Amino acid sequence: MAQDLKPLGDDSLGNFNLALTKRYNFDKIFAIAAWVGICFGLAILAVLLIDVFLDGLPRLDWQFITS
């Protein structure tokens, strides 16, 4: 079992560091995409809420609120 193990050379660590850099870059891109998606969804929600508020505000009167 110990014969199957190979010592790590500089080549293995170089590939690992390259893969690590790619993963960090992918993580940054994914985080930016997630924030853009969240902001887009919240902007759409805000537009819809403002539209409903502006459409409904003229229909509100004191009699509707107290009944």
The pLDDT of residue 18 is 76
- HEC-encoded secondary structure of the chain: CHHHCCCCCHHHHHHHHHHHHHHHHHHHHHHHHHHHHHHHHHHHHHHHHHHHHHHHHHHCCHHHHHC
Mean pLDDT of 20-46: 96
pLDDT mean across residues, the chain: 85
pLDDT tens by residue, 8-27 = 555 566 666 778 888 999 99
Least confident of 3-17, 32-46, 50-64: 3-17
Residue 17: per-residue pLDDT = 74
